Amino acid sequence: MFKKIAIVAGLALALSVTAEAQTPRKGGTIRMTAPYGSSFSSMDIHTTQRAQDEIFAKGLHRSLYTWNSADGKPVLELAKEDIVSGGGLVHTFKLRDDAYFHHGRRMTADDIIWSYNRIMDGTKAYPGARFVRVIEGAAAVEKGQAKEISGLKKIDDFTLEMKLTEKVDPGFYFFNAITSIYPADEGAKESFIQKPIGLGPFKFVEHVPGSRVVLERWDRFYKSGKPYADKLIVSLMSEAAARDVAFRNKEIDTSVLGPAQYVAYQADPGLKGTIAEVPEVFTRYMGMNPGYKPFADKRVRQAINHAIDTDLIISKLVKGKAYRATSWLPLTSPVYDKSMKPYAFDPAKAKALLADAGYPTGFEFEWTTSQNESWGLPIVEAIIPMLDRVGIKVKVKQVETAVLAETIRKGDFQAYVYSQATGPDPQAALKCFHSSTPQSACNYWNFKNAEFDKMVDEAGQTDDAAKRVQLLQKANALLYEEAPVWFFNYNKAVMAVQPWLKGIQLNATELTHQNVEDLWVDETSPAK
Amino acid sequence: MLSFAIRRILQTVPTVLAVVLVIFVLFSVVPGSIVSSMNDDGRGPADAQVMERMKKQLGLDDPVYIRFGSYIAKLATGDFGTSFRTREPVTTMIAKRMWPTLQLIFASMIFAIVIGVPLGFVAALRPGSFVDTISMVVAVSGLSMAKFWLGLLLMYLFALKLGWLPSFGYGDGSLKYLILPAVTLGVSPMALLARTTRAAVLEIMTADFVRTARSKGMSETRVVKWHVMRNALVLILTTIGLQFGALMGQAVVVEKLFSWPGIGSLLVDSVLQRDIPAVQGSILVVVLFFLTINTLIDLLYGVIDPRIRYA
């Protein structure tokens, strides 16, 4: 499924795909941009889960797994083999014996154990703890009841046994940069934050706060012949208009495009060929609080889905830079059911459903939103008259994105609009709706449905892959029927890529996150 | 002179204390925190345990008065605290950003003074002339233009169309990277200086002592040089001082647009992510800069016009 989408979505990259058949050129400089702010949070990647920071971290660090964009799944990175036993709970990793840290020491199982123990340090607040907690004994370390994670056992320098608490694919838990492997001897030093050392294809050269991170090729990288480029520069560029000028001026090799620029680039014959796009694993939606009486009724929630002309909003306001959502799981989810159809725009049906639910004249609710151009205030303002047509009045409450995140987590809303990661692990994405998931974790809608719980639980237990897919698809369909949210869209991530930069991967988890060792620049690049 | 200087410096102390208090109270009541901002890009569900731990670690659960007491105690020793985001001392973060901001501000002010003051003089010496009209059109346009828009125009022209200058970034800190952001930031004070200089010179040109000087047979050049310029300087200096301080705040937009690694861009990101120690430190530095420049200008008044220091 993912391959098909990637092929369609990557048509614009046809030229570069052809060029990739050429022999990759050694040397040159790759100039990427970090568009989500004017600074990086930290050089200690264990402390930050922001997409912005992972852009440079993909060059500097490596985790046990990495994301394979072509297949749409996590694959082993620092291990050559994973032998599963113990009913799917015990994983024995045969680690690479050719992975060297940037200070020259070879990675061993001790480094992985040290890194995961660090992340679980209960006196600190490393966001990766939510992933490492799946290892048996990790929670005890977090609570200060143990010094080391009991579920991690070093068999020898290059064999690591990992015992999990749940039968899950550890790839989904250990591919992000927040679980990067640090050198045990260096990671604890104060100087590490100033000059980080990793296992990635590029080593640290400099960080000019508020400007850029510069990395250079690590010659002892374990993938033979890689990386191709000599240098990787990640420049901070949060202003879209400035990025546009810099891209046209050939000063940068990649630029993330917003809706307005997406339209402009498509219309420009000179730039159209530079567009790379992929459906990302993010779902935009309006969450409804069942604690607010009208939203407790399924018919009201369905009415809202019918009352909004979602396709019109996607085409006119989001400028086609999104895919219509049919339910919770996104297009690039491995269990996405393409036979599902979205709610039809049908105000008459919406009115009928409202009448059935006891709201023939409608009702009023407060809608909390950020200013985001793709899923915030402009969208809400466009929807207000649509809901008004069926009798629903909206009172807008505008907040900053950081405040919105807190508002949602606390359940302090009647309705809100948001963009949320709904992958890559479909099991984890659906588990947010499980009745055992607290609202403060990710069940923001206080969704409780015994049938849904049963399907998700069974999917987690079964060894039959086909059955698992079937159960998760059914659970996703049940969400469609229950409509705890207004299903808006799946984000279409769009990046402009200069024609001389080859090897861009259509990464559905975050397009800016590239396995940079696979990128190369041809001789037409102006950066030498 | 010394007692005037000491008096002037002591006057800044209550201002600094008031600013410290206002910033602290403001960011204590404003909704959102670094903990909630961790998840504002929606990349994954917030981990409740990690969030609680982070709150505890950063002292966000402590009552406001305890946090304020601890903040003041640290501040008294010159410690601005530790950044919630980077886990670095705020003083280190600011030190890294200070030089680029100072570079930008000084370059902008030099541009503003070198262009604005002569423009105002020329306009005032020939009121109603073509030069006067053009000068004032430039001045009014400079004052009216939004910095963001002007910056984009300059980028488009000098980087994209002419290819003379880079469109963004700090590079190696060399002049070619500085020119576009400095001009963008400097156009507004340049315009203000031109208008102020023109008004000041026009007023002084009709003053009694200028008429007296002329009636004594003094040449026009000497009148302008010894009487007009010197007297206009007090007002021009006041404007320069105010603009110098204000530029630190105005630099926020320009730094963000040009990816210039100064205090302004640090402040914006710190506010958005609720990195309170970094916000407090950055604002305090901006305020201190403003006060320092104004104090220096006040001291300079005393040099230019000795009557002021005894006032």
CB-CB neighbors (< 8 A) of B265 in chain A = 38-39, 210
pLDDT confidence of residue A219 = 97
Please check whether residue A121 touches B, CB under 8 A.
no
Q: Do A402 and B37 touch (CB under 8 A)?
A: yes
Please check whether residue A403 touches B, CB under 8 A.
yes
Residue A349: in which H helix or E strand, if any? helix A347-356
The tens digit of pLDDT for each residue in A68-105 reads 999 999 999 999 999 999 999 999 999 999 999 999 99
Residue in chain B closest to A510 (alpha carbons) equals B43
Helix (H, G, I), strand (E, B), or coil: what is residue B126?
A: coil
CA dist., res. A459 & res. A465, Å (int)? 9
CB-CB neighbors (< 8 A) of A432 in chain B = 45
B262 within 8 A of B97, measured Cβ to Cβ:
yes
Q: Do B155 and A124 touch (CB under 8 A)?
A: no
pLDDT confidence of residue B98 = 93
CA dist., res. A383 & res. A380, Å (int)? 5
CA dist., res. A252 & res. A72, Å (int)? 27
More confidently predicted of A394 and A190? A394
> Distance between alpha carbon B254 and the CA centroid of its chain, in Å?
11
A248 within 8 A of B160, measured Cβ to Cβ:
yes
Residue in A413, A497, A515 with CA at minimum distance from that of residue A12: A497
The tens digit of pLDDT for each residue in A324-358 reads 999 999 999 999 999 999 999 999 999 999 999 99
Query: If pLDDT is split at 50, 70 and 90, which confidence band does A232 have?
Result: very high
Q: Do A442 and B46 touch (CB under 8 A)?
A: yes
Q: Which two tokens stand for residue A80?
A: 């050559």
Look up the pTM and report it: 0.90
Nearest CA-CA distance, residue A141 and chain B, Å? 13
pLDDT confidence of residue A1 = 47
CA dist., res. A442 & res. B140, Å (int)? 53
Look at chain A and count its residues: 528
Q: Do A440 and B46 touch (CB under 8 A)?
A: yes
Radius of gyration of chain B (CA): 24
Strand partners, A160: A93, A154
Please check whether residue A126 touches B, CB under 8 A.
yes
Q: Which two tokens stand for residue A241?
A: 């208009």
Nearest CA-CA distance, residue A262 and chain B, Å? 19
Please check whether residue A507 touches B, CB under 8 A.
no
pLDDT confidence of residue B221 = 86
CA dist., res. B162 & res. B179, Å (int)? 14
Q: Is the pLDDT of residue A224 over 60?
A: yes
ipTM entry: 0.87
CB-CB neighbors (< 8 A) of B40 in chain A = 401-402, 404-405
E strands, A220-372, where?
Answer: 231-236, 254-256, 275-288, 322-324, 364-369
CA dist., res. B24 & res. B273, Å (int)? 16
pLDDT confidence of residue B15 = 87
Backbone angles phi, psi at A216, to 5 degrees: -130, 160
Query: If pLDDT is split at 50, 70 and 90, which confidence band does A19 have?
Result: very low
Residue in chain B closest to A439 (alpha carbons) equals B48
CB-CB neighbors (< 8 A) of B178 in chain A = none
Q: Which stretches of chain B drop beneath a pLDDT of 50?
A: 311
Cα torsion angle, B93, B95, B99, B101, sign: positive
Q: Which of B37, B88, B261 sits opposite A208 (nearest CB)?
A: B261
E strands, A289-343, where?
Answer: 322-324
Strand partners, A279: A492
Strand partners, A398: A369
Please check whether residue A250 touches B, CB under 8 A.
no
B94 within 8 A of B101, measured Cβ to Cβ:
no
Please check whether residue A188 touches B, CB under 8 A.
no
- Averaged pLDDT, A492-500: 97
Please check whether residue A42 touches B, CB under 8 A.
yes
Q: Is the pLDDT of residue A16 over 50?
A: no
Q: Do A125 and B259 touch (CB under 8 A)?
A: no
Strands A275-288 and A501-502: unpaired
